[in-house]
Amino acid sequence: MAQTASFTVKVTMNPSDGRGRARGRGRGLARGQSQPIRPANQQGSPTQAGNPRFAGPRPAQPRSGNTNVPRVPGPRTSRPSIEEVTTKFSEMETGTPIPIGRGAIRGREPIVTPQISYYRAPRPESSKSQTGKQGASGQPVSLISNYFPIKTYTNWTLYQYRVDFSPEEDKVMVRRGLLSNHKDFLGAYLFEGTMLFSSKKYKSDKFELTSKRNSDGQIFIITVTYTSVLEPGDYAYLQVFNLLLRNCLRHLELKLIGRNYYDPVAKICIEKLRLQLWPGYETTIGMFDSGLLLRSEISTKVMREETVYDLLQEFMRESHRDRDWFIKFKAAVIGTTVLTNYNNQTYRIDDVDDKSTIKSTFPKKDGTQMSYIDYYHQKWNIKLKNVGQPLLISKKKKNVLDKSDTDRAIYLIPELCILTGLSQSMSDNRMMMRELAEFTRVNPRERIIRYNKFMNRLLSTPKSVETLKNWNLEPGKNLVNINGRVLPPQKIACNTHQFSAGDRGDWSNALRNAPMYTSASIKRWAIVAPQNVMADVQKFLGSLKRVSDAMSFFLPRPDIIPIPNPTIKSYTDAFENAINGMNPSFIMCIIPSNRGDTYSAIKRHLCVFRAVPSQVIVLRNVQNNNLSVITKIAIQINSKLGCAPWLVKIPRKNMLIIGFDVCHDKQNKNKSFGALVASINDEQTVYYSCVTEHVSGQELSDFFTANMTKVLHAYRSHNNKLPSGIMIYRDGVGDGQLSYVHKTELANIKSVCKEFYKDEEESPQLAFIIVKKRISTRFFTSGQNPQNPPPGTIIDSVVTDPTMYDFYLISQHVGQGTVTPTHYNVIEDTFKDWSPDKMQQVTYKLTHMYFNWSGTVRVPALCQYAHKLAFFASQILRGTPNTGLNQLLYFL
């Protein structure tokens, strides 16, 4: 407001219609983020001033443009902006494909609304019967969730207007101030930078207002143009509610970082780790089965007490020993998110320009050049220290409504960029992660206290209360109550034993002396280990034999192959000697430490160049001789050889169950791997898997279809018939891509089935379920002492989506912190004899069949196997595995 003057202005009414297409909100920036003047063109790099530390050729030409500040973007978000949504609605044609991007696939839960078929898959008819999508089995349980009801709201018709400023003003805060001078005339409105929303229709569809900027007396002509009407239930309509909510959060003196708000005043400093933890909130308003709800989830932002320049210096200190130090520095920085300490904005680093320094220049409005070092001194009163530091590049992607044809580069200064999040080395440091967990792991009681504190803060802050009152929104003070159900513990069947999974879904103790359901028969196997640890290996083998014998898994004495030193070449030479000399069924490999390059090299050799199941064990686990660890190793070996340690009976026979997931290559963001794992026998214990590499620009659905063809061939080969029912659990899909998956992937799968079943009497019954793990919904038992709900808890009402056949399932026990449920959305269901009860029960049963853990997991086992395989191919093998392993769980 300091930039504007409040005075009586001339209002010029223009009766012309003026309907036009909405332009990008703030040129694609997030709500509340100012739009800085940007260097035009964005071609090439800044004009060079010389960089003795980072020598390199100068760019041919400097960037041209009409700005006098470096380009600074706002927080990034994968959600579509309001005007993008409304404009795309008007441009849509039926069947128009949606571009796929990681943000859409892996985004957080978006706002849930009816009447947005462009972003949704139609609800299956099977869930529209008299019973609907609710099940009935299980014991009732009273729950609460992290949703607050919106007690009162008005189903207004909202009117959307585009607001233009002449001359152009890029800063959103100044725009708001200029427009607020006319609040008496405009009445209650919301303005987020470009679009204005009002509950009343102004008399003219296009009119002009006049305001003056205090700083220099500049007069602005503000043109307000009607664009469209938003009805209750429209996607953009609820986006307006969320815009309103974000305005309220600003009044709470919270800081917007990325898409969420955090409280820097309440930060926790961990000096020992040089980290800060900023508490914050994820909030959204959506339409659910019980009506309009506000979801609030606590969030923590990890801030490191070091800048990118500090990290650069660490790598520079290794320059005398490592000539690739700068390449490694770039790899460590690219992809990270930084916070600029002069304006508290976040950016994703996409590149490092080692040919530019802070002495490099950019063009001002008047055409003259200004160096970055001078700009920061004049604009922010910051004196930059190291003149040789390179510039960081954050690329602002072209907005779909932007007039620019190219992405735009934003240049940042390393010493002004604070690193956020955890580095890979931090994540791999178990002691550090345990210490962090003491602060970030929140139990149910504390989490509920924080939810209530947030709502009390929202409803006690005068400005936020006034904002809500102006729009007739009144959130309730209490969390919503839900009636859930708990399915009974499942029976775990071994060869001659049967026992309950128990209330915690863990049967590790019962498994130790129970014969495995099926056991592999091995004639020859080999152990490759360093020569100097043979005594430890012999002791380990004795324990392994005792443990495996107790589970009726009989391992013969292995061929032990000692190697003189633990180099990659020594291991691979030993593998070749063993394979050529004895053709082992299995190879165990002992490595001295958990070095990723050694592990990857071993797995690539045995899973890509060869097709031999293998088990890699770190030496400390051999030396510790822990029977619990050795039991898990024995189960893994048996599973990798195609056998099943236990079984949970699935009632339906002749059914093919499939899991599919995608994992992205961390070193090449344009490459990803899609993995499909299927069970091809009635007991769901025989598996077939395949992996395909997917490059950006290729249709993932084509690979899914090709793999589906392979699976049907494998099923027919194993059973001499095709399945009568097919269940597909699809992970790695965001709500924004549901329509694409339904119209493309599902349609292609149906085409494959039609071709396969053309000579059959009936087509297969088909269910396609979207599995979503990364969600913000939480559930707790109600009462004086709230706890995590037990495994088997089903929630299929109140907070579910009225446009979906969906449910939540809590399948695993969590000893510390708060359990995260999994969301299931059934987008296709042609099973004639399956009620929602059966769908939920089978899904829960399948969470017991992941053989790498003798307990329940968060998702059906086929999904977990697919995730494990996709990760294995993308991060370990960096390629597709040998097809000779397709019928084994070699990737566990």
CA pair distance 833, 839, nearest whole angstrom: 10
Statement to judge: residues 613 and 665 lie in one domain:
no
Question: Is residue 466 scored above 70 in pLDDT?
Answer: yes
In-domain check, residue 678: yes
Question: Is residue 10 scored above 80 in pLDDT?
Answer: no
Number of structural domains, the chain? 2
Q: Write down the catalytic residue from 699, 702, 742, 813.
A: 699
For position 701, what pLDDT does the model report? 67
Give the dihedral of Cα atoms 97, 98, 99, 103; nearest 10 deg.
-160
In-domain check, residue 208: no
SS3 496: coil
For position 855, what pLDDT does the model report? 95
Degrees to nearest 5, angle at CA 23 with 19 and 24: 155
**CB–CB of 102/696 below 8 Å?**
no
> CA torsion sign, 136 to 137 to 142 to 147?
negative
For position 42, what pLDDT does the model report? 34
Cβ neighbours around 148 below 10 Å, total: 24
Question: Can you name the residues that pair with 207 across neighbouring β-strands?
Answer: 13, 224
Question: Is residue 599 scored above 70 in pLDDT?
Answer: yes
Question: Is residue 154 scored above 80 in pLDDT?
Answer: no
Q: What is the CATH number of the domain that holds 533?
A: 3.40.50.2300
Mean pLDDT (whole number) for 18-31 = 34
Statement to judge: residues 814 and 855 lie in one domain:
yes
Examine the fold and report which residue of 585, 606, 640 is the final residue of a domain before the chain moves on: 640
Between 65-79, 166-180, 471-485, 699-713, the lowest mean confidence (pLDDT) is in: 65-79
CA pair distance 604, 890, nearest whole angstrom: 12
In-domain check, residue 556: yes
In-domain check, residue 429: no
Write out pLDDT tens, residues 172-189.
888 989 999 998 899 888
**CB–CB of 457/251 below 8 Å?**
no
In sequence order, what E strands does 179-274 have?
189-191, 195-198, 206-212, 219-230, 255-257, 260-262, 268-270
Burial 104-138 (b: 16+ CB within 10 A, else e): bbbbbbbbbbeebebbbbebbebbeeeeebbbeeb
Cβ neighbours around 441 below 10 Å, total: 13
pLDDT range class, residue 63, cuts 50, 70, 90: very low
For position 120, what pLDDT does the model report? 63
Question: What's the gap between Cα 257 and its chain centre?
Answer: 17
In-domain check, residue 624: yes
Return the DSSP state at 532.
G
For position 699, what pLDDT does the model report? 59
Question: Is residue 28 scored above 50 in pLDDT?
Answer: no
Write out pLDDT tens, residues 503-512.
999 999 888 8
Question: Is residue 109 scored above 70 in pLDDT?
Answer: no
Give the dihedral of Cα atoms 594, 596, 602, 607; nearest 10 deg.
120
Reported as type and span, the H/E element at residue 725 is: strand 725-731
Return the percent helix, strand and coil in the chain, to nearest 5: 30, 25, 45
Examine the fold and report which residue of 608, 640, 672 is the final residue of a domain before the chain moves on: 640
Q: Which residues are CB-neighbours of 650 under 8 A, at least 6 positions away?
A: 657, 682, 683, 684, 842, 845, 846
Q: Write down the catalytic residue from 192, 297, 536, 661.
A: 661
In-domain check, residue 219: no
Q: Write down the catalytic residue from 731, 806, 829, 837.
A: 731
For position 44, what pLDDT does the model report? 40
Question: What's the gap between Cα 833 and its chain centre?
Answer: 35
Statement to judge: residues 582 and 691 lie in one domain:
no
Write out pLDDT tens, residues 421-440.
887 778 777 888 888 888 88
Q: Write down the catalytic residue from 694, 823, 848, 867.
A: 867
Write out pLDDT tens, residues 839-874.
999 999 999 999 999 999 999 999 999 999 999 999
Statement to judge: residues 532 and 592 lie in one domain:
yes
**CB–CB of 394/73 below 8 Å?**
yes
In-domain check, residue 444: no
Question: Is residue 385 scored above 80 in pLDDT?
Answer: yes
For position 130, what pLDDT does the model report? 65
Statement to judge: residues 698 and 838 lie in one domain:
yes
Q: What is the CATH number of the domain that holds 720?
A: 3.30.420.10
Write out pLDDT tens, residues 663-718.
877 767 678 889 999 999 999 999 999 999 887 656 566 778 889 999 999 999 99
Statement to judge: residues 671 and 563 lie in one domain:
no
CA pair distance 346, 75, nearest whole angstrom: 6
pLDDT range class, residue 111, cuts 50, 70, 90: very low
For position 452, what pLDDT does the model report? 95
SS3 37: coil
For position 456, what pLDDT does the model report? 95
Tokens of 496: 């001659």
Reported as type and span, the H/E element at residue 676 is: strand 671-679
Mean pLDDT (whole number) for 112-140 = 70
CA pair distance 153, 235, nearest whole angstrom: 17
CA pair distance 536, 625, nearest whole angstrom: 9
Q: Is there a catalytic annotation at residue 474?
A: no
In-domain check, residue 454: no
Statement to judge: residues 810 and 782 lie in one domain:
yes
Q: Is there a catalytic annotation at residue 718?
A: no
SS3 684: coil
Tokens of 181: 């001078």
CA pair distance 275, 268, nearest whole angstrom: 8
- CA nearest 658: which of 626, 616, 689, 693? 689
- CA nearest 617: which of 604, 638, 642, 598? 598
For position 657, what pLDDT does the model report? 97
Examine the fold and report which residue of 609, 640, 671 is the final residue of a domain before the chain moves on: 640
Statement to judge: residues 619 and 704 lie in one domain:
no
Domain extent for 597: 519-640
Statement to judge: residues 631 and 685 lie in one domain:
no
Cβ neighbours around 717 below 10 Å, total: 11
pLDDT range class, residue 457, cuts 50, 70, 90: very high
Between 403-417, 680-694, 728-742, 809-823, the lowest mean confidence (pLDDT) is in: 403-417
CA pair distance 299, 209, nearest whole angstrom: 41
Statement to judge: residues 722 and 836 lie in one domain:
yes
pLDDT range class, residue 47, cuts 50, 70, 90: low
For position 6, what pLDDT does the model report? 36
Statement to judge: residues 540 and 678 lie in one domain:
no
Write out pLDDT tens, residues 792-831.
999 999 999 998 899 999 999 998 899 999 999 999 999 9
For position 803, what pLDDT does the model report? 87
Greater pLDDT, 42 or 789: 789
Question: Is residue 105 scored above 70 in pLDDT?
Answer: no
CA pair distance 679, 130, nearest whole angstrom: 33
For residue 846, which amino acid is it? L
Q: Is there a catalytic annotation at residue 867?
A: yes
Q: Report the percent of the chain where pLDDT is more than 70.
A: 83
Cβ neighbours around 383 below 10 Å, total: 8
- CA nearest 814: which of 474, 442, 535? 442
Distances (CA, A) of 159 to 61, 197, 202, 632, 835: 46, 6, 9, 62, 43
The mean pLDDT value of the chain amounts to: 82
- Tokens 């012309």 correspond to 16
Question: Is residue 25 scored above 70 in pLDDT?
Answer: no
Question: Is residue 49 scored above 80 in pLDDT?
Answer: no
For position 782, what pLDDT does the model report? 94
Statement to judge: residues 582 and 662 lie in one domain:
no
